[in-house]
């Protein structure tokens, strides 16, 4: 297993998951609800930035590896799933939205694994639609975690859930895209 800066950043993201969950649950006991929301949102923001940064550095420094290619999406899916579960448990978003997003992540991860075993991983490589989906998810989760008013007269939770709906639509769209790419690969068209 190689160890370099991009892999360190990915492991950092994995390590932030329990810290994120603990901070979220410190609301009202050790931290004020507002402070817990802010710290949880900041931790998630740091994790989101490392998601972009580890890939950028791996390519820029020529430090890509099959282990990094495996660990990076796992880390992403774990922190997103943890955040969505916490947000649903707190009543800040809807379970059906979280299920669409988490279900798609599991399905596409399985598809990518299967395609890799067939030697066709590149046919389901991350596409622009996947990047848009991730951006919408991150924005939604950050807004829902923070939960404090950002714009006078506009509920941050309503805005966050609007982004969740956009993220869910992009999630389904990207899933269809990846499934079509896989079918195309095997049909020979």
Please give the structure tokens belonging to residue 144.
Answer: 């829902």
Query: Could you tell me the pLDDT band of residue 13, with boundaries at 50, 70 and 90?
Result: very high
**pLDDT at residue 1 in the model:** 65
Binning pLDDT at 50, 70 and 90, where does residue 77 land? very high
Residue 15 neighbours by CB under 8 Å, 6+ apart: none
Task: Tell me if 137 sits within 8 A of 99, measured CB to CB.
Answer: no
């Amino acid at each position: 297993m190689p160890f370099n800066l991009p892999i360190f950043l990915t492991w950092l993201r994995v390590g932030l998951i329990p810290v994120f969950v603990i901070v979220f649950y410190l609301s009202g006991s050790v931290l004020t609800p507002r402070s817990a929301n802010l710290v949880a949102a900041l931790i998630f923001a740091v994790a989101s930035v490392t998601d972009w940064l580890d890939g950028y550095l791996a390519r820029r420094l020529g430090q890509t590896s099959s282990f990094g290619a495996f660990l990076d999406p796992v880390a992403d899916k774990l922190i997103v799933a943890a955040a969505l579960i916490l947000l649903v448990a707190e009543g800040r978003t809807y379970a059906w939205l979280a299920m669409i997003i988490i279900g798609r992540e599991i399905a596409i991860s399985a598809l990518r694994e299967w395609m890799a075993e067939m030697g066709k991983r590149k046919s389901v490589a991350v596409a622009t639609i996947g990047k848009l989906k991730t951006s919408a998810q991150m924005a939604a989760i950050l807004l829902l975690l923070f939960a404090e008013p950002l714009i006078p007269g506009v509920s941050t939770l309503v805005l966050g859930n609007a982004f969740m709906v956009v993220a869910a639509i992009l999630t389904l769209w990207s899933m269809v895209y990846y499934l079509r790419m896989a079918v195309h690969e095997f049909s020979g068209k």
